[in-house]
Structure 1
Amino acid sequence: MNPFLKTIGLAAVTICLTILLIYFPDEALAASLRGLKMWGEVVFPSLLPFFITAELLLAFGVVKFLGVLFEPIMRPLFNVPGAGSFGWMMGMASGYPTGAKIAARLREEKQLTQIEAERLVSFTNNSSPLFIFGAISVGLFHNAALGLLLAAVHYGSNMIVGVFMRFYKIREEKSVEYQAKTKNGSILIQALKQMHATRSKDPRPLGEILGDAVLQSIKTLVMVGGFIILFSVIVQLLHLVHFTVLFSKLFEGIFFLLGIPISLGVPFFSGLFEITLGATLISDISTDSLLPKVILVSFILGFNGFSIQAQVASILAKTDIRFFPYFFARVLHGIIASILTVILYKPLYLNHGITGSELPVATQPADSFFANAFQQLTSIGPFVTIIFLWLGFLLFYKAKKTGS
């Protein structure tokens, strides 16, 4: 694209956004507050412990330890080093954009090549179990049994994406030399030695490591919060100028051919921008069957939404990891998830004899745990957010004062 035309286009979009903000100030403020509430109550307090833990595990060499142990699994399955297992597991446990954050850190530490990092990012940005079971299945659909189906589809399709992406640029890569040697001892001993060697290279005292972990995590989450608020406002403004209704017509034709109610067009288009908003609107639509709504929710969970994709792009921008492989994988994830939903809908949902909000015994403990955890998080989340924001300010002020 011509750089001059790109400049004109970006300027025009920004000017239009500014005009809409001036024309709809009340609606923009309400949308901004909704985004801020979601970030302060759920996103910040739920992701902060995982971000801090990830930084500490990297500093203490535990990721190197896992890398040696899981190399025999991750290399043949996903064609990435064993250290990628850390990003995969943390991504599933904590949700987006943890996978991108960890992949970027591993790339910065030269534990991954550029191509390996791009492969890792493509399948480690999952939705968390807390969001799937607590927010989506219980909070929006009021049907906890959906959690099992959505989780199986989401994580299963993402693993398929990872296997598919193992072939990405396989002829061009030059892998990092694998350093662990097992001929002089067991793989566990070698893993421990690698962990100790990594920890010994870091001269920082424990207090400084902990402070840096907290500060870096808060900085990343503040950036995430900014994107959540921004896209909350953008989606609301697009709805006010009927842009959402106009472009949703493109999907209504496809939905008609697929047998999906066309009334789901607008909610689906909204979900392409922001997952929570799209899932909320989809759950509010009345349909004869639940299957079409579950198919679309599975797609937008896999697609991540432009809001999360913007967060990932911002994290990757600090490295040489390219964004397009991640975007391609998101589209692929959404398509595979939709197909798996159709295949698994009967065995994982209908065969339980579920009607309405009935909950099968097999899934009750897990669903109840995540639903209760989500409810507790929304009650104590704001206090956690405020406390750590204040702590982050103090750490930032101390670092600036020490530096000067």
Structure 2
Amino acid sequence: MLGKRISVHVAASLAVLLACLMLAFPAEAFHASLKGLSIWWDVLFPALFPFFVIAEIMLGLGIVHFFGMLLDPMMRPVFRIPGIGGFVMAMGFASGYPIGARLTSQLWTQRLVNREEGERLVAFTTSSDPIFLIGAVAVGFFHDAALAGVLAAAHYGSALLIGLLMRFHGRPGKHTDEYRQPAFTSLLEASPGQPLWRRAFEAMHHARMNDGRTLGTMLQQALASGLSMIFVIGGLVVFFSVVMEVMASAKVMSLFDAAIESVLGVFGLPLPLAEAVASGFFEVTLGAKAAGSAVGVPLVYQVAIAAWVLSWAGLSVHAQIISLLHHTNLRYAPFVAARFVHGLLAAGLVIALWRPLAPYHAALAAFFPVPDMNRPLETLAQHTLPAAGLTFAAVLGASLLLSFCFLIGKRCMKRIRS
């Protein structure tokens, strides 16, 4: 009770302080809100809204359940989550934050994951989308498409490492049978002699029958739900844009820079990167841009800090995740701990992979598109959707292949033992 009262007083004090800063710098706050609104309308709305609608429809049609049954032999022993989490992983890597959290909240609502499984799933499926990593960071901020390879390897590789680490989160042996829909539970417990593909089609059929909505109703509700979510995200983007601007105008960010410089000095990292770390702590785009424009810093450290910013995701994305999960019992503490460790692992992987991947930088650049971030809608049509589709297909295909390998290996071990 005392801790809750203290948190309420702290939140109230911060709100009053923010209001005073906005009154002290009204012009800066207004221009920052316009900038945040432009980012939301030009980039986030066209990039995220289609994925919100498509994910809702795929859940209603049972397609997610179909892939969930196929991926169960791999996802459960490796990540300790149901196979349906493999679809969330592919969608999260392809479309970026906060799609993974959105899908996880829907799975929790449909009783397909429990709290601990949902926390594991959100922890490692919250990642940057490929077009932002390639187009905005590597090309736009660093002006070098060849850096996309090491950035992608560090960012997505460390995300998988987080998934492996998070499998130890929660009590061992805890299952989700009391949370799952009865039809889906019976299919999971079907006899091993029944082919996996048949159980997958039966899972899709049962999910479609249990949903019961017509396609028109499903589309209408998916559009309404997607619009509601995208407006919440837009409000958070505008809010944090204003917060960052008024804090910078009041010279509060300089205090953060000084504190971060002392931490960087302890680890022997270049001090000019303090601004990038401070900005990235609040917002991804500003932090990555500051890392790319740091002067007098070796490129490897600039890219490492950019990887940290992408993996930490900024408090703006954290607020989006909280807003998407507020109706669930999923806790924020495991998520923020995973984000912090993800950032450290991504930065460390950049430094570790820098020399081994250096001879292949030019070759890797040829495989990445070079979008024009000054024309975001055209970029969306030409690069975002194809890149997201290729990423989704690659992650889902690799997961399905591993799942069948796990299934075959399991059956072979049973026959050897028998």
Q: Deviations over 1:265-314 (max 9, x none)?
A: 12210110001011112212212410111111111111110000011011
Give the Cα separation in 2 of the matches to 1:128 and 1:200.
33
Give the Cα separation in 2 of the matches to 1:249 and 1:376.
36
Give the Cα separation in 1 of the matches to 2:276 and 2:126.
23
Q: Which residue matches 1:162?
A: 163
1:280-359 matched pairs, under 5 angstroms: 280-348=289-357, 350-352=358-360
1:201 aligned counterpart, secondary structure: helix
Contact 1:275 1:304 (8 Å CA) reproduced: yes
Matched, 1:274 2:283: yes
Give the Cα separation in 2 of the matches to 1:173 and 1:90.
26
* Shift, 1:23, TM fit: 1.0
Contact 1:145 1:367 (8 Å CA) reproduced: no
Give the Cα separation in 1 of the matches to 2:354 and 2:369.
18
Q: Which amino acid aligns with 1:66?
A: F
Matched, 1:110 2:121: no
Q: Which amino acid aligns with 1:302?
A: S
Q: Which amino acid aligns with 1:81?
A: P
Give the Cα separation in 1 of the matches to 2:60 and 2:341.
34
2:255 aligned counterpart, secondary structure: helix
2:192 aligned counterpart, secondary structure: coil
Give the Cα separation in 1 of the matches to 2:89 and 2:30.
37
Q: Which residue matches 1:134?
A: 135
* Shift, 1:376, TM fit: 5.0
Give the Cα separation in 2 of the matches to 1:381 and 1:34.
19
Q: Deviations over 1:332-377 (max 9, x none)?
A: 10111111111011122x324x6xxxxx244313233xx25x5653
Q: Which residue matches 1:260?
A: 269
Give the Cα separation in 1 of the matches to 2:209 and 2:305.
49
* Shift, 1:178, TM fit: 6.5
Give the Cα separation in 2 of the matches to 1:300 and 1:162.
19
Aligned counterpart for 1:366 among listed residues 357, 365, 368: 368
Q: Which amino acid aligns with 2:192?
A: K
- Measured at CA, do residues 380 and 249 of structure 1 come closer, stay the same or move farther in structure 2, by a change above 3 Å? closer
1:87 aligned counterpart, secondary structure: helix
1:1-400 matched pairs, under 5 angstroms: 1-171=2-172, 173-176=174-177, 177=185, 179-180=187-188, 181-348=190-357, 350-352=358-360, 360-368=362-370, 371=371, 376-379=375-378
Q: Which amino acid aligns with 2:365?
A: T
Q: Which amino acid aligns with 1:137?
A: A
* Shift, 1:9, TM fit: 1.9
Give the Cα separation in 2 of the matches to 1:160 and 1:380.
31
* Structure 2: gaps spanning 5 or more residues: 178-184, 382-418
* Shift, 1:260, TM fit: 2.0
* Shift, 1:113, TM fit: 1.1
* Structure 1: gaps spanning 5 or more residues: 355-359, 383-404
Give the Cα separation in 1 of the matches to 2:212 and 2:127.
34
1:99 aligned counterpart, secondary structure: helix
Deviates more, 1:239-248 or 1:305-314: 239-248
* Shift, 1:144, TM fit: 0.6
Contact 2:257 2:274 (8 Å CA) reproduced: yes
- Measured at CA, do residues 251 and 380 of structure 1 come closer, stay the same or move farther in structure 2, by a change above 3 Å? closer
Q: How many residues align?
A: 372
- Measured at CA, do residues 219 and 203 of structure 1 come closer, stay the same or move farther in structure 2, by a change above 3 Å? same
Q: Which amino acid aligns with 1:342?
A: I
Q: Deviations over 1:159-194 (max 9, x none)?
A: 000000001013373333573325353100110011
* Shift, 1:381, TM fit: 7.0
Give the Cα separation in 2 of the matches to 1:375 and 1:73.
41
- Measured at CA, do residues 241 and 211 of structure 1 come closer, stay the same or move farther in structure 2, by a change above 3 Å? same
Give the Cα separation in 2 of the matches to 1:172 and 1:244.
46
Give the Cα separation in 1 of the matches to 2:107 and 2:327.
12
1:2 aligned counterpart, secondary structure: helix
CA-atom RMSD, angstroms?
A: 1.8
Q: Deviations over 1:129-162 (max 9, x none)?
A: 0100011111111111111111110000000000
Q: Which amino acid aligns with 1:242?
A: K
TM-score, scaled to structure 1: 0.88
The alignment-based identity, stated in percent, is 34
Give the Cα separation in 2 of the matches to 1:3 and 1:81.
34
Q: Which residue matches 1:388?
A: none
Q: Which amino acid aligns with 2:376?
A: L
Give the Cα separation in 1 of the matches to 2:15 and 2:106.
32
